[in-house]
Amino acid sequence: MNPARMNVESFNLDHRLVCAPYVRVADRKDLPQGDVITKYDVRFTQPNVAHLDMKAVHSLEHLFAECSRNHSEAVIDFSPMGCQTGFYLILQGEPNIVGVSALIEATLTDVLNATEVPAANNVQCGWGQNHSLEAAQDCARAFLAQRTDWERVYA
């Protein structure tokens, strides 16, 4: 199978060849005013083999979005992948896997110490009942336990 090159970077990634969990640079953009933004693929589960529970995804999104900003002013966004295998972390600045891995580690440690999911209510969230702190913490714990593997994208 050799499809034509597509506009979306992840559509050009052979998901059969990657070995999750990992953190990789998925894209880098030079903006017109000279700023650089970098998108990281933060893959929690093996594509087409396993996926994260939606309540875990939703709660991790809230927790990471809130807690990561305590560690870095470069955080622009933390968004779940529709396939439920991971997230995209978008940061201002040049690619730096070592720095982003430290940010992820510190933030997921915060997730483990959290006592509630921030903004998990009907006022601040579009589906406030769809959260599980325990599920988010289980995912964070599993990802952190495999910290030494994050920089290895392919088996």
Query: How do residues 42-69 score in pLDDT, each as one tens digit?
Result: 999 999 999 999 999 999 999 999 999 9
107, 144 Cβ separation under 8 angstroms: no
Tell me how far CA of residue 52 lies from CA of 35, 86, 102, 146, in angstroms: 33, 8, 22, 16
Structural domain contains residue 133:
yes
67, 111 Cβ separation under 8 angstroms: yes
66, 58 Cβ separation under 8 angstroms: no
Structural domain contains residue 3:
no
Structural domain contains residue 154:
no
Structural domain contains residue 5:
no
The mean pLDDT value for 123-151 works out to 98
Query: How do residues 63-90 score in pLDDT, each as one tens digit?
Result: 999 999 999 999 999 999 999 999 999 9
Structural domain contains residue 93:
yes
* pLDDT given at position 2: 60
Pair of tokens at residue 149: 């593997």
Structural domain contains residue 73:
yes
- The enclosing domain of 134 has a CATH number of 3.30.1360.80
Structural domain contains residue 155:
no
Structural domain contains residue 6:
no
Domain of residue 68: give its range. 17-149
Domain count within the chain: 1
**pTM for the complete prediction?**
0.95
For the chain, the average pLDDT equals: 96
